[in-house]
Structures are given as C-alpha cells and as structure tokens.
C-alpha cells in the first residue's frame, strides 16, 4: 500500500510540473536596461511594440500591458529595482501597467488546476481574479487580494523589491486573468499556469511533498480501516 501511495504522489507531482507553463517577460523590452515596451502579441505569435517576439503560447494581453525594466544582479535600470525571490534567470522584465486600474490576459485554449506568480507592490496593494471567459467575463473561478510587499532589498536601491509569491487553485477551465491595482504601483513576474506555486526552475519543496504524501497516506489508512470493519 505504501509503495502504491508513493507512486501516486510521484505521479501527481510529475503531472503538476509538466502542466506548469511560465511567462517570465524576458526579451519583450529591446531597449533594456531602460524604457518600457507593450507586450502586444509577444506571446501570441506576434511581436511586442518594439518588434521582439517570444514563444507562441496563444496568450494575448490587454493593450495597456507593458514590460518594465527591472534590475538584474549585474545591470541597473533607471526606473526601478528587483531582487529577493523569483527565478534567477528572470530578473530583467516584469508585467505592469501605466494606465487604468487593471490589465488582463487571455488564453483562449484555457488552463486548469492553478495560477500563480511573483509580485511587488511596495506602496499600494492590488488583487487578481481568474475568470472562466475571455477578457474577465463569465464566472470568477478564483480571486485573491494582494497586500503590500517589503520596500527594499539588501544591495538594491529603492523600487520594486523584493518580490513575493501568490497563487490560487481552482476547479473548472479558465480563459483569462485580471490583474488589478494602481497604475505604476504593482509589478508581476514569473506568471505560472497549472500550479498554485510560481515556478522558480526547481522541483517542489520537500515540505510540499511531505504534505501531499501525508494526505494520501491518511486516505490509505481510512480505506484499510473500512475494509477491516467490513
């Protein structure tokens, strides 16, 4: 029984990692380390506002979605900073908006299970909602308020730093996500589909494996007691 449950845990973790897909917003801003670029069709077989293109994930962003220049460990931007948590290979760009109160993302093919990312909101928090339809329509499958994050990192100047993780699980098929907040006050990065924890290029933490394994072992124990009682 323990061997069977261990196999189930391994299969579940493998499926979760395999389904996860990450948008790191690198390469959108061709003028890095300065300036901004609109995402436009960068992830949908097209190009950004400055002519760069990325993998075609069939993902569209609203017209106000931009890629901000973020400090890396070796290059300093003129407008902001980055540090702390997140994928070390994803430190140059992040998603933000300069106009309106939200920006949104569509994936017409849909996605399931979970949605997560890193974010920085040093002065004013925000929120996000996962929707069943395109453009923030249909039913809300999940939502979460995003509080403010710490305002500085050791070795980095003032700005968007550090980034904190946020994510939700949900049932059903989603087609869009709305990122809400105050313009120029919140940045998102390493957006991850299919996982409640944003992808940082590593396997799930041991604590997560232990929790999942404990839950499945408990289910196995209940099943054994039912057979014994019968």
pLDDT digits (tens, 9 = 90+) for 21-38: 899 999 998 888 888 899
Residue 155 has pLDDT above 60, yes or no: yes
What CATH number corresponds to the domain at position 75? 2.60.120
Which of 5-14, 33-42, 75-84, 219-228 is predicted most confidently? 33-42
Residues 104 and 41 placed together within one structural domain of the fold: yes
Which of 15-24, 66-75, 76-85, 133-142 is predicted most confidently? 133-142
- 115: which residues sit within 8 A by CB, 6+ positions away? 130, 142, 167, 168, 170, 174, 177, 191, 192, 193, 194, 195, 196
Residues 28 and 109 placed together within one structural domain of the fold: yes
Residue 176 has pLDDT above 80, yes or no: yes
CB crowding 79-112: b at 16 or more within 10 Å, else e = ebbbbbbbbeebbbbbbbbeeeebbbbbbeeebe
Chain Cα centroid distance, residue 172: 18
- DSSP code per residue over the chain: -HHHHHHHHHHHHHHHHHH-EEE---SS-TTTTSS-EE-TTTTTTS--TTS------SEEE-TTEEEEE---SS---SS----BSS-TT--SEEEEESSSSEEEEEEEEEE-SEEEEEEE-SSS-EEEEEESSTTS-S-EEEEEEE----S--TT--SSS-SBEEEEEE-SS-EEEEEEES-TTS-EEEEEEES-SS---SSPPPHHHHHHHHHHHHHHHHHHHHHHHH-
Residues 148 and 210 placed together within one structural domain of the fold: no
Residues 27 and 126 placed together within one structural domain of the fold: yes
- Report the pLDDT averaged over residues 178-197: 94
Full domain range(s) for residue 32? 21-198
Predicted TM-score (pTM) of this structure: 0.77
Residues 193 and 107 placed together within one structural domain of the fold: yes
Please tell me the predicted confidence (pLDDT) of residue 205.
35
The number of domains in the chain is 2
Percentage of residues in the chain having pLDDT higher than 70: 70
Please tell me the predicted confidence (pLDDT) of residue 207.
32
Residues 53 and 9 placed together within one structural domain of the fold: no
Residues 11 and 32 placed together within one structural domain of the fold: no
Residues 122 and 13 placed together within one structural domain of the fold: no
Residue 64 has pLDDT above 90, yes or no: yes
Could you tell me which of 75, 77, 73, 78 has the C-alpha nearest to residue 88?
73
Please tell me the predicted confidence (pLDDT) of residue 50.
93
Q: Tokens representing 9?
A: 């845990």
Residues 158 and 90 placed together within one structural domain of the fold: yes
CB 155 within 8 A of CB 83: yes
Residues 128 and 159 placed together within one structural domain of the fold: yes
Phi (first) and psi of residue 157, to 5 degrees: -75, 175
């Amino acid at each position: 029984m323990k061997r069977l449950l261990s196999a189930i845990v391994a299969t579940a973790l493998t499926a979760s990692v395999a389904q996860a897909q990450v948008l790191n917003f690198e390469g959108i801003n061709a003028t890095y380390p300065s300036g901004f670029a609109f995402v436009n069709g960068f992830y949908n077989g097209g190009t950004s506002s400055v002519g760069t293109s990325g993998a075609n994930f069939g993902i569209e962003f609203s017209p106000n979605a931009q890629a901000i220049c973020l400090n890396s460990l070796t290059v300093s931007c003129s407008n902001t900073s980055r540090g702390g948590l997140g994928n070390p290979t994803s430190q140059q760009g992040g998603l933000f908006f300069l106009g309106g109160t939200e920006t949104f993302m569509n994936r017409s093919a849909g996605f399931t299970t979970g949605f997560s990312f890193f974010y920085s909101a040093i002065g004013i928090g925000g929120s996000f909602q996962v929707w069943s339809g395109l453009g923030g329509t249909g039913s809300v499958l999940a939502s979460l308020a995003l509080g403010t994050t710490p305002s500085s990192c050791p070795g980095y100047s003032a700005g968007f730093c550090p980034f904190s993780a946020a994510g939700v699980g949900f049932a059903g098929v989603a087609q869009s996500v709305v990122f809400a907040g105050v313009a120029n006050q919140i940045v998102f990065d390493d957006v991850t589909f299919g996982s409640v924890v944003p992808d940082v290029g590593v396997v799930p933490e041991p604590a997560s494996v232990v929790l999942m394994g404990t839950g499945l072992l408990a289910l196995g124990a209940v099943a054994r007691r039912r057979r014994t009682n019968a």
